[in-house]
């Protein structure tokens, strides 16, 4: 009997060790995949023929704009060109989000639902860490009010560092680049929140705000974000300003969330 129990113990121990090794392997692979995504933009060369053609088109457009009194000069930045190339791999790549000197430096995806990129990377391959993705309800033309983005804490863990104002002071800008725009967004709020039950009243469900129906709805969102903010950034937004929101899981409470909100710089 003792021998049987001993054998069972060793079998359970071996299985546990195997499961631990598998878990560690998967975790390491997930982190490797995340780092690959983060370095993706740096790995793209703009010396390819396709980029030379785009640069040539930019030059031609600029020459044409100089011949027109009302034309506005539009030149694509290097990052915009790189995003454009990424979109040839996956048309659901809508841009690139970065916060300087943090781990946040990723492609942003947008699908027809908000669940797909929770478990898939930019190549549409299964990945437990998922991707940073834009809310499915965001409309590009005309643009919605709020670029609402989500991501697992493995991807967006550094936004939780905004709980400290000293971190905000060093990192006040969110950069978001598409194939048509390369913009800086000044942080106006950083706050803890949660996913609220339907019966809970008078709560700030920031994760519902993408398309403002009117000026009041927009101003209410900004006011509530400022009110919920852990500290005052000294910045705000006015109706018509493009907003950006990054949201991730937080473990301060059940179904906790942490979010930061920025508005596009006018410069």
Mean pLDDT to the nearest integer, 36-43: 64
Query: Exposed/middle/buried for 25, CB within 10 Å: 0-12, 13-18, 19+?
Result: exposed
pLDDT attached to residue 50: 47
Residue 27 — very low, low, confident or very high, per pLDDT cuts 50/70/90? low
pLDDT higher than threshold 90 for residue 229: yes
Over the stretch 80-120, which tens digit does the pLDDT of each residue have?
Answer: 999 999 999 999 999 999 999 898 999 999 999 999 999 99
Specify whether the CB–CB gap between 159 and 171 falls below 8 A.
no
Tell me which of 6-15, 73-82, 160-169 is least confident: 6-15
**Percent of the chain with pLDDT strictly greater than 90:** 66
Residue 68 has pLDDT above 50, yes or no: no
**Is the per-residue pLDDT at 187 higher than 80?**
yes
Taking residues 117-138, report their average pLDDT.
Answer: 93
Do residues 164 and 137 make contact, with C-beta atoms less than 8 angstroms apart? no
Spatial contact of 194 and 169, defined as CB atoms under 8 Å apart:
no
Is the Cβ–Cβ distance between 192 and 230 less than 8 Å? yes
CA angle, 262 as apex, 162 and 139 as ends, to 5°?
A: 130
What is the CB-side half-sphere exposure of residue 261 using CA atoms within 13 A? 31
Terminal C-alpha separation, the chain: 79
How confident is the model at residue 61, as a pLDDT? 53
Mean pLDDT of 188-196: 97
Answer for the pair 185, 159: CB distance below 8 angstroms, yes or no: no
What is the predicted pLDDT for the residue at 51? 46
Q: What is the mean pLDDT of residues 189-218?
A: 96
Quick one: which of 127, 94, 97, 118 has its CA closest to 249?
118
Domains, the chain, in order of start with CATH, read 92-264 (2.40.260.10)
pLDDT 10s digits, 237-261: 999 999 999 999 999 999 999 999 9
Lowest mean pLDDT among 11-25, 155-169, 233-247: 11-25
Q: Taking residues 154-162, what's their average pLDDT?
A: 94
Buried b (16+ CB within 10 A) or exposed e, 111-147: beebebbbebbbeeeebebbbbbbbeebeeeeebbbb
- Whole-model pTM? 0.80
- Top-confidence residue, 65 or 87: 87
Strand runs labelled E in 90-145: 93-98, 105-109, 132-134
Question: Does the structure show a pLDDT above 90 at 156?
Answer: yes
User: What pLDDT is recorded for position 163?
Assistant: 97
Q: How far apart are CA 265 and CA 12, in angstroms?
A: 59
Task: Supply the pLDDT for residue 44.
Answer: 74
Q: How confident is the model at residue 266 (pLDDT cuts 50, 70, 90)?
A: confident
Taking Cα atoms as reference points, which of 55, 263, 94 lies closest to residue 178? 94
Rounded to an integer, the average pLDDT of 42-67 is 55
Complete DSSP assignment for 216-231? HHHHHHHHHHHHH-SS
193: left (phi over 0), alpha (psi -120 to 50) or beta: beta
Q: What is the pLDDT of residue 16?
A: 72
Tell me how many helices (H) and strands (E) the chain has.
7, 8
The residue whose two tokens read 């692979």 is 29
Q: Are 51 and 81 a contacting pair, CB within 8 Å?
A: yes
- Tell whether the model's pLDDT for residue 132 goes beyond 60: yes
- 142 upstream amide cis, omega within 30 of 0: yes
């Amino acid at each position: 009997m003792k021998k049987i129990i001993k054998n069972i113990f060793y079998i359970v121990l071996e299985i546990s060790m195997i499961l631990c090794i598998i878990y560690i392997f998967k975790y390491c692979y997930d982190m490797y995949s995340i780092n690959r995504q983060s370095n993706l933009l740096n790995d793209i060369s703009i010396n390819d023929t396709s980029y030379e053609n785009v640069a040539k088109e930019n030059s031609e457009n600029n020459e044409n704009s100089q011949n027109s009194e009302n034309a506005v000069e539009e030149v694509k930045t290097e990052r915009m060109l790189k995003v454009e190339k990424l979109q040839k791999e996956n048309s659901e790549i809508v841009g690139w989000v970065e916060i300087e000197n943090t781990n946040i430096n990723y492609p942003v995806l947008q699908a027809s639902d908000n669940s797909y990129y929770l478990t898939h990377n930019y190549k549409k391959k299964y990945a437990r860490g998922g991707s940073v993705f834009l809310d499915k309800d965001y409309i590009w033309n005309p643009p919605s009010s709020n670029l609402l983005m989500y991501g697992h804490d493995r991807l967006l863990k550094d936004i939780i560092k905004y709980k400290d104002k000293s971190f905000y002071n060093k990192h006040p800008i969110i950069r978001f680049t598409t194939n048509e725009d390369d913009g800086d967004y000044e942080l106006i709020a950083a706050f803890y929140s949660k996913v609220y039950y339907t019966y809970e009243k008078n709560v700030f469900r920031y994760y519902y705000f993408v398309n403002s129906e009117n000026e009041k709805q927009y101003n209410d969102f900004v006011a509530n974000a400022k009110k919920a903010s852990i500290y005052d950034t000294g910045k705000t937004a006015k109706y018509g300003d493009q907003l950006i929101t990054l949201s991730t899981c937080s473990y301060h409470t059940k179904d906790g969330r942490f979010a930061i909100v920025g508005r596009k710089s006018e410069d």
